[in-house]
Chains A and B, each alone.
Chain A
Amino acid sequence: MNVLLEALNRPAEAFRNRRKEIAWILVSVTVLINSIFVPILNQIGNGSGTGLDFEVMIKITILGYVSYLSICLLLFLISKCFGSKTLLKTYIETWGISYFPTVICAITVAFTEKFFYIFWNNSIWGVILNIIFGGILIWKLVLYGIYIKEVAGLRRGRFIGAFIIIGIFILILAYLNGYFGIYTPVL
């Protein structure tokens, strides 16, 4: 529990202490929400009776982990170009610690997708969801910055350069995630 709170409240220390168990738990939760929770939620109240497509569920699970490994490889390669000496294994073991906002995003997106008609044009729900989505984005951006500084070990100009270039590639990966049917990008 302390380890979980450390990852939540003091991510810089969690990155430094390489809490790989937390990283894999958070990544797996994000992937399973995408591959299992979303289809089950979509089935609730669905009168078509098509049932769950297990092939798609397995495909999304595998793609989720592939997406995680891709972002780690991307972080490794671009940080290396900017002079980082961190090993690929370290990125794989630690990037998942930044997945708290991703998990919350996956759950929120699952509900907004299913109950879109309730939230659309509703000012109260609109404001609440806006705060959640904005908060998730800002939180992830902060974690991303802390990560490049602490794990990749980049400072000043190198930090800014890596931050922008990795950011561009993250947007491309996010688009690819959506293209392959992953609701919340596992990035």
Chain B
Amino acid sequence: MKRKYNQNNIKELLNKLGEDALPTYSQKEKMLNHILYEGKLYDSQLQMTGREKKSDSIFRKALTFISHYPWRFALIASTLQTALFTLLLGTKYTNFILGFLGGR
């Protein structure tokens, strides 16, 4: 009798452990969102054909590069514009931007 009681206890314990390992509602929702997002990307890639595919994929790659880690794109673009205009105009340009955006 006691042995059976112990077995039941162990079963209950294992069941509880199993339940705890399951994802919560919000975690499930996040997983679903992620899968839908990936699916949407995959689907749009599948729809592209021929010449359209080639040009579209470059455009799409550029958009993905910008939308993932947008600060990285911003930093690259800003460094390029700063280098170009500072070489052309010197401190006149840096002073102009500093005066315009730097609070004075």
Chain B residues numbered 1-29 whose CB sits less than 8 Å from any CB in chain A: none
Binary contact track A142-155/B, C-beta < 8 Å → 1, others 0: 11001000000000
Q: Does B77 contact A (CB under 8 A)?
A: yes
Determine whether the beta carbon of B103 is less than 8 Å from that of A123: no
Q: Which chain B residue lies CB-closest to A126?
A: B94
Q: Does A112 contact B (CB under 8 A)?
A: yes
- Within the complex, the shortest CB–CB distance from B36 to chain A, in Å, comes to 9
- Within the complex, the shortest CB–CB distance from B77 to chain A, in Å, comes to 5
Q: Does B68 contact A (CB under 8 A)?
A: yes
Q: Does A10 contact B (CB under 8 A)?
A: yes
Chain B residues numbered 50-98 whose CB sits less than 8 Å from any CB in chain A: 66-71, 73-75, 77-79, 81-82, 86, 90-91, 93-95, 97-98
Determine whether the beta carbon of B78 is less than 8 Å from that of A119: no
Which residues of A are found within 8 Å of B101, using beta-carbon distances?
Answer: 109, 133, 137
Determine whether the beta carbon of B95 is less than 8 Å from that of A146: no
Q: Does A8 contact B (CB under 8 A)?
A: yes
Q: Does A9 contact B (CB under 8 A)?
A: yes
Interface residue stretch chosen among A12-20, A54-62, A165-173:
A12-20
Q: Does A96 contact B (CB under 8 A)?
A: no
A123-B91 contact in complex given A12-B67, A112-B98, A113-B104, C-beta closer than 8 Å: yes
Determine whether the beta carbon of A131 is less than 8 Å from that of B75: yes
- Within the complex, the shortest CB–CB distance from A40 to chain B, in Å, comes to 16
Q: Does A179 contact B (CB under 8 A)?
A: no
- Within the complex, the shortest CB–CB distance from A1 to chain B, in Å, comes to 15
- Within the complex, the shortest CB–CB distance from B43 to chain A, in Å, comes to 16
CA distance A109 to B71 in the complex (A): 19
Determine whether the beta carbon of B67 is less than 8 Å from that of A133: no
Binary contact track A101-116/B, C-beta < 8 Å → 1, others 0: 1000000111011001
Q: Which chain B residue lies CB-closest to A149?
A: B67
Q: Contacting A113 at CB < 8 Å: which of B73, B81, B90, B103?
A: B103
Which residues of A are found within 8 Å of B93, using beta-carbon distances?
Answer: 130
Please give the residue numbers on chain A whose beta carbons come within 8 Å of chain B beta carbons, in ascending order.
8-13, 16-17, 100-101, 108-110, 112-113, 116, 119-123, 126-127, 129-139, 142-143, 146, 183
Please give the residue numbers on chain B whose beta carbons come within 8 Å of chain A beta carbons, in ascending order.
30, 33-34, 37, 66-71, 73-75, 77-79, 81-82, 86, 90-91, 93-95, 97-98, 101-104
User: 8 A-B residue contacts at CB 8 Å?
Assistant: A9-B68, A9-B69, A13-B33, A121-B91, A126-B97, A130-B97, A136-B74, A137-B78
